[in-house]
């Protein structure tokens, strides 16, 4: 999977393959292996390609706090679904797919008035289902992928009419 990590003004994107408690992490051009040891009181040992570091670690919501090498860092891991234009994109006009999948059911029709949080469609990826919900009050514009059809990552699934001033 891919995951964005915000570090202050920096935005990094990693991709991650997990094998048990080990992970292969791709960061830009490089790849490294990481393992995280059991911890107590937030203190852990983490090894990067076998090199150990003593770290302190805690998370809350989409934030991760890390103390390593004498400095404290506050990281944000944006939810990929929200980042793809779901609930987080209040100004956006279409929900896009966070990953490839298929539409299980469509809950609304074009022209229908919906309220914030109302289910628009149910999608499924890797045998897991989730609801694509309206990210604001408004009117459904188009259903871009029909029930039973599949879609690619980033595909526009359902759009809402542009907000009127």
Partner 1 sequence: MTSIRKVLIANRGEIALRIIRTLKAMEIGSVLVHHAADAQTPAALAADECVELTGEPAVAAYLDIAQIVAVAGRVGADAVHPGYGFLSENARFAEALAEAGIRFIGPGPRAIEAMGDKITAKGIAAEAGVSTIPGYSQAIESPQEAARIAGEIGFPVMLKASAGGGGKGMRIVRSESEVEEGFVRATGEAQASFGDGRVFLEKYIERPRHIEIQVLADGHGNVVALGERECSIQRRHQKIVEEAPSPFVDPDTRAAMQKEAVSLAKAVDYVSAGTVEFIMDQERNFFFLEMNTRLQVEHPVTEFITGLDLVREQVRIAAGEPLGYGQDAVTLQGHSIECRICAEDADAGFLPQTGRALVYAEPKGPGVRMDSGLAPGLEVSARFDPMLAKLIAHGATRAEAVARARIALGETVILGVTTNTDYLGRILAHEAFGAGETHTAFLEEHEKALERPAPSDEEKRVLCAAAALGHRALSDPRHAPPPHLAAMGGWRN
Q: What are phi and psi of 83, to 5 degrees?
A: -65, -25
The DSSP output letter for 40 is B
- Tell me the window of 61-69, 89-97, 105-113, 151-159 that interacts with partner 1 (CB under 8 A): 61-69
For residues 102 and 153, the answer to whether their CB atoms sit within 8 Å is: no
For residue 88, state whether it binds partner 1 (rule: CB under 8 A).
Answer: no
Vertex 97, ends 94 and 101: CA angle to 5°? 140
For residue 90, state whether it binds partner 1 (rule: CB under 8 A).
Answer: no
Q: Classify strands 43-48 and 150-151 as parallel, antiparallel or unpaired.
A: unpaired
Q: Which residues contact 74 (CB under 8 A, 6 or more apart)?
A: 8, 63, 64, 65
Q: How far apart are CB 30 and partner 1 at their closest, in Å? A: 8
Place of tokens 């759009």: 159
Q: How far apart are CA 128 and CA 126, in angstroms?
A: 5
Residue (57 or 94) nearer to partner 1, CB: 57
Residue (30 or 164) nearer to partner 1, CB: 30
Residue (5 or 139) nearer to partner 1, CB: 5
Residue (18 or 115) nearer to partner 1, CB: 18
Rule CB under 8 A: choose which of 38, 50, 71, 142 binds partner 1. 71
- Tell me the window of 52-60, 110-118, 142-150, 152-160 that interacts with partner 1 (CB under 8 A): 52-60
Q: How far apart are CB 50 and partner 1 at their closest, in Å? A: 12
């Amino acid at each position: 999977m891919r995951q964005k990590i915000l570090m202050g003004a920096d935005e990094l994107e990693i991709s991650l393959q997990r094998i048990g408690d080990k992970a292969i992490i791709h960061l830009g051009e490089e790849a490294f292996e990481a393992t995280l040891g059991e911890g107590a009181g937030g203190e852990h040992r983490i090894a990067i390609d076998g090199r150990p570091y003593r770290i302190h670690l805690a998370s809350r919501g989409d934030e991760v706090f890390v103390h390593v090498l004498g400095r404290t860092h506050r990281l944000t891991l944006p939810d990929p679904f929200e980042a793809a234009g779901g609930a987080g994109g209040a100004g956006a006009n279409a929900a896009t797919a966070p990953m490839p999948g298929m539409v299980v059911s469509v809950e609304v029709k074009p022209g229908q008035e919906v309220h914030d949080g109302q289910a628009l469609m149910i999608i499924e990826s890797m045998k897991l289902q989730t609801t694509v919900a309206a990210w604001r009050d408004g009117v459904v514009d188009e259903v871009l992928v029909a029930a039973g059809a599949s879609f690619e990552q980033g595909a526009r699934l359902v759009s809402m009419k542009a907000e009127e001033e």
